[in-house]
Amino acid sequence: GEDVEQSLFLSVREGDSSVINCTYTDSSSTYLYWYKQEPGAGLQLLTYIFSNMDMKQDQRLTVLLNKKDKHLSLRIADTQTGDSAIYFCAAYLFTSGTYKYIFGTGTRLKVLA
């Protein structure tokens, strides 16, 4: 079956690094995404990684993919108070004849000043 799991909460101090983890079950995932959701807003695409990559860096964001363990992580360097939000991991896969996004439950990041 298709499932994406995340821890529910993470609290860090401003200036520290944050690491948000995600595990997924379906090995047919082609793309893996990270979205950010601020209160009252839709989902904002942060970054994505193709399943044949191990790492992708984009400014303060680093995505690591361990295909063997089906583990994805998002590292935010020099975390700021504006990074406080809910972060969703999503796996994009081809199943039952169509492409489909499967979202995790989201990790609420709280950045302490």
Partner 1 sequence: EAGVAQSPRYKIIEKRQSVAFWCNPISGHATLYWYQQILGQGPKLLIQFQNNGVVDDSQLPKDRFSAERLKGVDSTLKIQPAKLEDSAVYLCASSLWQEETQYFGPGTRLLVL
Query: Could you give the CA distance from residue 7 to residue 23 in angstroms, rounded to a whole number?
Result: 10
Does 24 engage in binding with partner 1 (CB under 8 A)? no
Nearer to partner 1, 40 or 82 (CB): 40
Nearer to partner 1, 5 or 16 (CB): 5
Nearer to partner 1, 25 or 30 (CB): 30
Q: What are phi and psi for residue 82, nearest 5 degrees? A: -70, -10
CA distances from 113 to 26, 79, 81 (A): 38, 10, 7
Nearer to partner 1, 59 or 68 (CB): 59
CA distances from 1 to 26, 30, 106 (A): 7, 16, 19
Does 25 engage in binding with partner 1 (CB under 8 A)? no
Does 39 engage in binding with partner 1 (CB under 8 A)? no
Does 42 engage in binding with partner 1 (CB under 8 A)? yes
Q: Can you tell me whether residue 89 is helix, strand or coil? A: strand
Residues that bind partner 1 (CB under 8 A): 4, 30, 33, 35, 40-45, 48, 88, 90, 92, 96, 98-101, 103-106
